[in-house]
A and B are shown apart, each in its own frame.
Chain A
Amino acid sequence: AQSVTQLGSHVSVSEGALVLLRCNYSSSVPPYLFWYVQYPNQGLQLLLKYTTGATLVKGINGFEAEFKKSETSFHLTKPSAHMSDAAEYFCAVSEGFNKFYFGSGTKLNVKP
């Protein structure tokens, strides 16, 4: 089974600063990779996904992530944080036809 590790359960940045949320996975076979965002009292929304092709994936709200096979990583970045980015972010990795593994989540706090 896959394991998905999100480094840092809480990350705090200042408004306008770079956002970097880390995700590492255990698969030796290139999987599908996803980032989801969860705002308070809401369900998860898909931010971006990597299936095949270009390893730098752009998502909604200015976020992007880069698939690095050699590092088994899929870190999420945004050049300039906005207050509205405060939420919990989940990295997810697929395996096989329909197995889906989520990381434990990283809560992003944005300070004014």
Chain B
Amino acid sequence: EAQVTQNPRYLITVTGKKLTVTCSQNMNHEYMSWYRQDPGLGLRQIYYSMNVEVTDKGDVPEGYKVSRKEKRNFPLILESPSPNQTSLYFCASSLGTQKGPNHYGYTFGSGTRLTVV
């Protein structure tokens, strides 16, 4: 089954303790992206990757890092989490860079609900 898999689904952590949220897709998609979803704000893009070793900032990158060492994986790293990073996080992937991911739309993972206390 074609899918984007995120882990963990739920995570409670303390301020300052480094954490990684994993994301993997099995569709050989070139484009991957991370979003956070907050009530009343919709989804906002954190980082995206056009291909292996190619990443760039989205609209709200502060406090986050990403890496793309393999095509299928795109982990989100919070080096020193803070309470304002409490949110619902989604990883997404898209088929193409040829016509642009906007042309194809996105496949989303099921989300990771992060609470930082």
* Residues in chain A within 8 A of chain B (CB atoms): 4, 9, 32, 34, 36, 41-46, 49, 51, 90, 94-105
B102 & A98 in contact (Cβ 8 Å cutoff) = yes
Inter-subunit contact A49/B42 (CB<8 Å): no
15 new A-B contacts at CB < 8 Å, known A98-B31, A100-B33: A32-B102, A32-B103, A42-B110, A43-B90, A43-B108, A43-B109, A44-B92, A45-B108, A46-B105, A94-B100, A95-B102, A98-B50, A98-B101, A104-B40, A105-B42
CB <8 Å contact, B4 and A90: no
A9 with B40, Cβ < 8 A, contacts A98-B48, A100-B45, A100-B102 known: yes
Contacts across chains A and B counted by CB atoms under 8 Å: 60
Q: A101–B106 Cα gap in the complex (Å)?
A: 12
- Within the complex, the shortest CB–CB distance from A37 to chain B, in Å, comes to 11
State the interface size on chain B (CB cutoff 8 A).
Answer: 25
| Distance, CA A5 to CA B84, complexed state (A) | 25
Q: Which residue of B lies closest to A48 (CB)?
A: B105
Contact of B42 among A4, A95, A96, A99 (CB under 8 A): A4
Give the CA-CA distance A43 to B23 in the complex, in Å: 13
List 25 A-B pairs, Cβ < 8 Å. Answer: A9-B40, A34-B105, A41-B110, A41-B111, A42-B110, A42-B111, A43-B4, A43-B108, A43-B109, A45-B108, A51-B103, A90-B43, A94-B102, A96-B100, A97-B102, A98-B48, A98-B50, A98-B102, A99-B102, A100-B45, A100-B101, A101-B42, A102-B43, A104-B41, A105-B42
Chain B residues in contact with chain A, CB under 8 A?
4, 31, 33, 35, 40-45, 48, 50, 90, 92, 100-103, 105-111
**What CA separation (Å) do A42 and B108 show in the bound complex?**
9
Q: Which residue of B lies closest to A98 (CB)?
A: B101
